[in-house]
Amino acid sequence: MSRANSKAFKVSLVAFMIALCAILELINRALPLRAPWGMSIDFVALPVMIAFFILGTRYSIITGLGMYAILLVFGYAGFVGGTMKFFATVPVVLVLGALMLTPLRNREWPSMTYRSIPKYILAAAIALVARCAVASAVNYFWAIPIFFAMPIEQVIDSFFFGSIWGFIAFVAGMNVTQGVLDLAAAWIVVFGFGIARRYAPKA
């Protein structure tokens, strides 16, 4: 059995990725990044995506749970923000994993499937749609009413001129921006630097 396929390697890598989530969150707290339009940007979910490309869906979700636990303990955005980060990241992982069961899959070396940029762009676009749908639903029914301590209808009237489509566009815009950064950064780290060829297990 190669090192990449060993249980010890997988457990060690997941532990390292969870620790990296903590480091990135501490950096985010010390040096918060914001887009020109005021949106907060972070890379705390980057290790979850790296774990996906190297180890697959199962271990990526475990890493995501570790990230969630870290965000609950000392996350910059608190309980609501940590929960939203988890529910925004998991759909991306699940969709990318599900698409690995389709003809997109590289049969000889599944972990290298998304090294193909056309395949990755297609899969990433679908995953971002899923992220936006889940984020919109969770924000509408749970997060925003709790965060603003008022009914969602009142929030939409106050901040989105009474338009549900304005609300959806706002949530989608933030999630596409953050999602593209996560997906692009993870691809560069794993495939651009050749980490996948060295560590990702073969079929």
Residue 148 pLDDT: 87
The whole-angstrom separation of Cα 183 and Cα 15 is: 21
Q: What is the mean pLDDT of residues 37-60?
A: 91
CB-facing half-sphere around the CA of 58: CA atoms within 13 A: 4
Task: Judge whether residue 1 has pLDDT over 50.
Answer: no
What's the rounded Cα separation, in Å, for the pair 89 and 49?
9
Residue 33, H or E segment: strand 33-34
12 CB-near residues (< 8 Å, 6+ apart) = none
Nearest partner of 44 among 15, 24, 68, 72, judged by Cα = 24
How many percent of the chain have pLDDT more than 70?
95
The pLDDT mean for the chain works out to 91
Q: Which residues contact 84 (CB under 8 A, 6 or more apart)?
A: 77, 135, 138, 139, 143
Q: What is the pLDDT of residues 26-42, one digit of tens each?
A: 998 888 887 766 678 89
Report, as an integer, the average pLDDT of 142-147: 91
Residue 183 belongs to what H/E stretch?
helix 164-187
Lowest mean pLDDT among 1-10, 170-179, 183-192: 1-10
Amino acid at 56: G
Query: Ranked by mean pLDDT, which of 34-38, 85-89, 105-109, 110-114 comes out on top?
Result: 85-89
Closest CA to 45 of 103, 105, 131: 131
pLDDT tens-digit profile of 63-104? 999 999 999 998 777 899 999 999 999 999 999 999 999 999
Residue 181 pLDDT more than 50? yes
| 128 and 92 Cβ atoms separated by less than 8 Å | yes
pLDDT at 4: 63
DSSP H/E element including 40? strand 40-41
Helix (H, G, I), strand (E, B) or coil at 161: coil
* Residue 110 DSSP label: G
Instruction: For the chain, list the domains and their CATH numbers.
Output: 3-199 (1.10.1760.20)
Average pLDDT for 170-199? 93
CA distance 180 to 174: 10
Kindly indicate the confidence band of residue 203, based on its pLDDT and cuts at 50, 70 and 90: low
